[in-house]
Structure formats: C-alpha cells, structure tokens
Homo-oligomer: A and B are copies of this chain.
Amino acid sequence: MSRQLRLNAFLHDTGHHEASWRHPDSSVERIGDVTWWQGLARKAEEAKLDAVFLADGPAWWGTGHRPANQFEPITLLTALAAATERIGLIATASTTFYEPYNLARLFASLDQISGGRAGWNIVTTFSEEAAHNFGLDGVPSNEERYERAQEFVDVVDKLWDSWEDDAVLADRESGVHTLEGKVHRIDHRGTYLNVRGPFSAPRPPQGRPVHIQAGSSNHGRAFAARNAEAIFTAHQTLGDAQAFYADIKAQALSFGRNPREVLVLPGISPFIGDTPAEAEEKFRYFNELTVPEYGLKQLEGFAGVSLRHLDLDEPVPAELFGGAGNVLDNERSRKQVVANIVERENPTVRQLLHRLAGGRGHNVVHGTPVQVADTIQEWFEQGAADGFNVMPPLYPQLLDDFTSKVVPILQDRGLFRTEYDGTTLREHYGLPRPESQYATPLPAAANA
C-alpha cells in the first residue's frame, strides 16, 4: 500500500477559532456535557481519522473571553474511549508538573480501557500560571525542563516495560498468578527522579502508549527526534514546514532511529466553502467575532512583546519582532512564526490578530474542499508532512465539512484509508510495538 496520510481531530471546546464560542451556531452551552464530546469522537471515528487529540495545561488561562477546559484530558479521553471502538486517543500531559509513577498509571489505564488506543503528547509546560499551582515561583529553564523531561520519559518507559509481556500466568491449580521473575524493579536514581518500581500493573496493550511531542524549540526538536513517534508542529508556509520536516528526520536518523517512525503532523485549520468566496466569507465572519483585547494578550503571551500601545489599524512595526533570534529558545518558535507573517504580509495589528485568531500560529486555510485537499496533498507529497492535526474552527460544523467533503477526496486519491486496518493507535500510525527493555529470552524448556 502506498504511503498513507495520518489525520487527527484536535478537539478544543467550541472550536479552534478563538471567538468560535460567540458564533450563533456554537455549542458553547454543551461543552460541559460529555455526551457532546462523545458525539465528536464518534464523528471522527466514522470518518476513519487516526485519533482525537486534546491539548492541556494545569492552570486557568486567566481570561473571561473564552471558555476554560471543563475536563481534565485523560479522564475525558477515557469517556470517549467508552463511546468509540477504534479511534486513537491522545492527551497532553506535563513532565514538569506530574509525578512519573502517577502519570504512567493514568496512561497505561487509558491504554488498557481503550484496547491500545492511547497516545501521550509529552510537554514541558512553559507557563508561569502553572508553576504557581505547583509550589514553584517560576518556570524552570528550558534546558532544565527538557533534561527532566528526558529522565521522566525514560522512567515512564521503564515502568511500562517493567512487567514483561508474558508475566501473567493466572494458573489456578498452582496458585501462581504472576511470574515474579518477570516483574522488574527499575531502580532509577537520576538527577530529578528516584523511582524504584516495579509498575503497579501488567504492561499496557501497546507496550508503551504512543509518544508524541509538540515543542519546536531547539531543545524541543532534539527531544522530539530522540523520543517522539509523532510530532505536532505549527507552520505557515510549505517552505518552513519542509525545512522542519527535513531537520527532524535527519536528527532522528542521527539518534539511530527509523525516520519513518517519526511522523511529522502540522496543524491545519480549514475554513471550507463550496466556492472560494464562501470560504473566505466564513473566515471573515469568524474574525469579526474576535475581541482584540483577548488577542493582544495571547500574542504577548507567545511573542513576548507588547502591542497594546499601537493603533489596531496601523501596520505592525517589523522591528518589534526583529529580535526573535535572541529571545529564549522556548519562545522562539512561535515568535518566529509571527515575525515571518509580519515580514511577509506587512499586516495591521488587527489583521495580524485575525491571522492568529484561527489557529494560534497554526496554518489557517480557506478554500473549497478540492483546494484544501490539494494543500494537504502538496504538503504530504513535497516533504512537509506525514499527515495533519486538523483543527476545525467550529465544532461540530466545520469538522463535518472536513470529514464529509475533504476526506472523501483524499480517499478517492488513495491517500487516506476507507477502513481501519488495525485496532490500536500504533497500528493506525504504522508504528511498531516496542519490546520491553527487560524482556528475557524464554527458557529452553518453554521452547521445547
């Protein structure tokens, strides 16, 4: 079979457009109702998407201008697991603000409940608000966060591996349920973490839930190339995405990994219309709903500059973003995205805010179903993407547009599955199931 696209639905309350909740057709009254989310997951599954994905941070984002996340993501995905059968379930969780033993249990349990559909989006959480909820006066440095993240992932993998796949015997006659010799302490003593193990439960169905990563800083890229099996990334242009793609695949190779087992999945937020004009009008309508005060605050958050003293209808001074190369590494990737937009498009402040309102730096496209499918195919075939994190501006309507109008075109072109071949997220993504690092060869007698 030819190389296949991977497509996730990135769920995000009423939709990815920051003002989506204000849309007259928005489901803002239902976002606390788990059955509404279960309905979205079922729609994504009917379209044979690879996974649903939830972002997360352990803090309130401090604005009344949009809804807070009503749910913690691992529990929400567990409820979605109960309402679906095949689709992957990816939750974001922080290595900076969790204990690895607790987090390993939550993901293993989700994997078990879902029959092998769990994925972990590994983030280090750059948020002062989160730090203050965990006894810290500020966020640790980018370098320290990624050092801890590496140790954290190593510990969690060891815990998942600590029960060999054949550790459970359940022999009523002898009274031996578990072969104690096949359950291993991990005895991890490191810089940030000391964890003895073994894990509290048998190995989860996928061996290890799929490792996903979403940071694009230099530390983040190296971490991703070493650990991630899928990378969620944000690019505005084919060229930027190609450069990132090539860099990640080369770095993965340098870690001795198979580059095909490191999927690059940029975000794409599609406004779909039956004509280009209808699509553009949709995009324009959403932007009219934005609250500039909110957009400015968001922009300050990820670009690290103030724009509040500027007139909304004056051009953004290019020099405001000139220093992008000098800011902290962890902030650079998103700031660079904004700097590139400013340089390329010379927008007014209002135009820049609208440009970002749809996808917070992700690629917002508007066009007909064929145009959107063409963009996806181009990125997929021109070395920019192995698939996409689809970010509908409004749920469920613009997910429906995507699944009913764009997905069939991709299927007709032989780029996307019409049925699931497997049952696990690893199978959907074409990833191998890792062997336990503690696996022992069978004794000779068992082979006889």
A69-84 interface (Cβ within 8 A of B): 69-72, 74-76, 78-79, 81-83
Please state if B172 and A28 are interface contacts (CB–CB under 8 Å).
yes
In whole angstroms, how far apart are the Cα atoms of A135 and B304 in the complex?
36
In the complex, whether A260 has a CB less than 8 A from a CB of chain B is: no
Please state if A178 and B67 are interface contacts (CB–CB under 8 Å).
yes
Please state if A178 and B68 are interface contacts (CB–CB under 8 Å).
yes
In the complex, whether A34 has a CB less than 8 A from a CB of chain B is: yes
Identify which of B22, B113, B133, B168 contacts A196 (C-beta below 8 A): B133
In whole angstroms, how far apart are the Cα atoms of A26 and B68 in the complex?
45
Please state if B83 and A201 are interface contacts (CB–CB under 8 Å).
no
The segment from A44-52, A102-110, A268-276, A410-418 found at the interface with B is A102-110
Interface of A is mostly: loop
User: Which chain B positions have C-beta within 8 A of A135?
Assistant: 193-195
User: Which chain B positions have C-beta within 8 A of A74?
Assistant: 75, 106
The segment from A58-66, A306-314, A422-430 found at the interface with B is A58-66
In the complex, whether A421 has a CB less than 8 A from a CB of chain B is: no
Please state if A202 and B113 are interface contacts (CB–CB under 8 Å).
no
Please state if A71 and B102 are interface contacts (CB–CB under 8 Å).
no
In the complex, whether A21 has a CB less than 8 A from a CB of chain B is: yes
A5-34 interface (Cβ within 8 A of B): 19, 21-24, 26, 28-29, 32, 34
In the complex, whether A243 has a CB less than 8 A from a CB of chain B is: no
In the complex, whether A291 has a CB less than 8 A from a CB of chain B is: yes
Please state if A32 and B193 are interface contacts (CB–CB under 8 Å).
no
Please state if B200 and A69 are interface contacts (CB–CB under 8 Å).
yes
User: Which chain B positions have C-beta within 8 A of A175?
Assistant: 19, 22, 65, 289, 291, 294
In whole angstroms, how far apart are the Cα atoms of A59 and B175 in the complex?
22
In whole angstroms, how far apart are the Cα atoms of A420 and B289 in the complex?
45
Determine which residue in A63, A78, A106, A201 has the highest number of CB atoms from chain B within 10 A of its CB, and name it: A78
User: Which chain B positions have C-beta within 8 A of A79?
Assistant: 78-79, 81-82, 113
In the complex, whether A179 has a CB less than 8 A from a CB of chain B is: yes
